[in-house]
Structure 1
Amino acid sequence: MKTSTFLIGSLGLLAALAACATNSKSSAPPTVSGVDLKRYTGTWYEIARFPHSFEKGASHVTANYLSQPDGTIKVVNRSMKDGKPDSIEGVATPVAGSNGAKLKVKFFTLLPSGNYWVLALDDKNYQWAMVGEGSRKYLWILSRKPELDPVIYEQLVNRARELGYDVGKIERVEQ
């Protein structure tokens, strides 16, 4: 698969996340109390996101998380750009003391890790999630299926608003 576009985009993501060490809001958004990472692994479809240069024009976006024996999670992101498949692989490491709700994701060994915070989760069935980070510049709504119930979608958008995210920036992703 072609990786250059996703590679360059992911470099931009990591640089932007690293630059977000401070938060423009009075406090960082809270995460869920805990995530069972074994249940969280598997394929997630990107339903909506804040726009970023590294995902510009990306459709049919999925993230596949695979548990590793050392406690990390292999991350495989796939999408379609300009009618061609694109992918990138990385590793996510749980943040100590976060009960699995915060991860550090790294796609390239020479760049810093980016923050991955689970802000909302279907803790009963693990069928949907909302992910962001402390600066509120990045947000994703994920589902186990290519479509998400409109009622749940609106609940997640409302939760993002409550957490201080500018929900006017949310864009739907073609699946």
Structure 2
Amino acid sequence: MKALRILLVMIMSLMLTACFGMPDNVTPVKNFDVDRYLGKWYEIARLDHSFERGLNNISAEYTMRDDGGIAVVNRGYSVEDGQWETAEGKAYFVNDKDEAYLKVSFFGPFYGSYVVFELEQDNYDYAFISGPNTSYLWLLSRTPVVAQSVIDDFITMSQERGFDTSELIFVNHDRDSHRD
């Protein structure tokens, strides 16, 4: 019985940490400044996931938490349901605070990787983000529209890292998320 408990604890520990990784060719941005990263971001493009399926006008708002982590509020509009959907989570740095490698949770003790692998350095205008593997990819921007050159760079850099960019979804931003 004791051996079974130890085995279960080991398996659960592996499951809880398995999503902290990143694709082999992805490297987190160094000299990351969390204070500059905080605020509102618009999702420009992503790979498909059940938790965002059918949503448009997606944004993420990042603020500091009292415990040193980051509060995350994701918001998107479901055309099918005719209403806004919101998910609240929390994120913490995996290593040092100057490395853009975080773990994020929307579901209790379960965390997944959030790795910024490209970041516009002057004003933090856009960011390319990976999850634990090449099935998770996002382009975020401070504005709901970006220059085509940013999209082109995102596609090129993502392909070089093994992401299937032929499956990208480009997010429609036709509603003001502060109005509704």
- State TM-score, norm by structure 2: 0.80
> 2:116 corresponds to which residue?
118
Shift of 1:100: 3.4
Gaps (5+ residues) in structure 1?
1-15
> 2:89 corresponds to which residue?
90
Shift of 1:106: 1.0
Alignment of 1:2-151 (within 5 A): 27-81=24-78, 82=80, 83-97=82-96, 99-109=98-108, 111-151=109-149
CA contact (8 A) 1:29 1:134 kept: no
CA contact (8 A) 1:29 1:133 kept: no
Distance 2:49 2:105 in 1: 17
Shift of 1:68: 2.1
Shift of 1:70: 2.4
CA contact (8 A) 2:42 2:59 kept: yes
Deviations for 1:73-132, whole angstroms, at most 9, x for unmatched residues?
0000001012211101111101123623111101122x4111100011001110100101
CA contact (8 A) 1:21 1:135 kept: no
Distance 1:140 1:101 in 2: 14
Distance 2:54 2:17 in 1: 23
SS at match of 1:146: coil
- Alpha carbon RMSD of aligned pairs, Å? 2.1
Shift of 1:17: 9.4
Deviations for 1:35-93, whole angstroms, at most 9, x for unmatched residues?
21010000000000001111110000000000123221000000101221110111110
Alignment of 1:147-166 (within 5 A): 147-166=145-164
> 1:10 corresponds to which residue?
none
**Pair member with larger Rg:** 2
CA contact (8 A) 1:28 1:135 kept: no
Kindly, what percent of the aligned residue pairs are identical?
36
Q: Structure 1 residues 146 and 22, CA, compared in 2 at 3 Å: closer, same or farther?
A: closer
CA contact (8 A) 2:19 2:112 kept: no
Runs of 4+ in 1 over 4 A off after TM superposition: 16-23
